[in-house]
Amino acid sequence: MATAVATDPIRAPAARRRVLRVGARVVLSLLVPSALYYGLRALGQSVYLSLVVSTVLSALPALWTFVRHRRVDGVSTYVTAMMLGGLVVSLVPGSTRFLLARESVMTGVTGVWFLVSAGARSRRPLAYLFTRPLLEGRLRWPGQWDQLWEVSPPFRRLWRVSSVLWGLGLLADAAARVVLAYTVRPDLVPALGVGLYVATVVVLNVVVTLYQVRSRVQDPRSPLRQAATSAQPSAPAGTS
């Protein structure tokens, strides 16, 4: 009889809390710069100054986290790196339109990061790292992802393809941001950028989820999960 697979009951709540904290930081990283920008514009500041000041102020918490902890922490490190990268890009001299297009740089870097992580030499794809705390052992997903990764080539392919889909989608998002920055009225770009981010995440989640459902990852009888079941040690003869 197949042994039920479960996740670590102690590690799982901590992982979920970490994901929720990172999710909250992502939301704040989207909303706070836009709120600061429009607040400064309402006070009569120029588009360029409003963009620079809002970016610098919104990146200060990430800078403080980096200086204080100085540790690599998966998804949290990614969010911090993106915010600090946005700060660096915003300080590069250029026109207002260039500054408006800065989000495309960071989104493009993220897309490339996803694609590189899907390579055979990568230890774990980004899609795997981001999703594991939310789905491992839940919603009919298997537990023990580390074991599945080692013994199931279809499971590894699932996450490599998922990372490629995210990478391509984010590169398309980056291209759309450049178009917005250079064709739309400047005061509309920050708000449209937030809307584009939400649309990109929703569409990519739907596409990736449909792909994963078609792979039958939630079916214990699927080839994707059979390798892990067959790799489990058999009980000694005469034991119950």
Other Cβ atoms within 10 Å of 223 Cβ, number: 13
What would the pLDDT profile of 184-233 be if each residue is shown by its tens digit? 999 999 999 989 999 999 999 999 999 999 988 888 888 777 765 664 54
E-state strands within the chain? none
**Model pTM?**
0.76
Domain ranges of the chain: 19-93, 96-232
Tens digit of each residue's pLDDT (9 = 90 or more) over 51-105: 888 877 777 776 676 667 655 445 566 666 776 777 777 777 777 888 888 888 8
Helices (H) and strands (E) in the chain, counts: 10, 0
* DSSP string for residues in 152-172: -HHHHHHHHHHHHHHHHHHHH
41 close to 187: Cβ distance less than 8 angstroms? yes
68: helix, strand or coil: helix
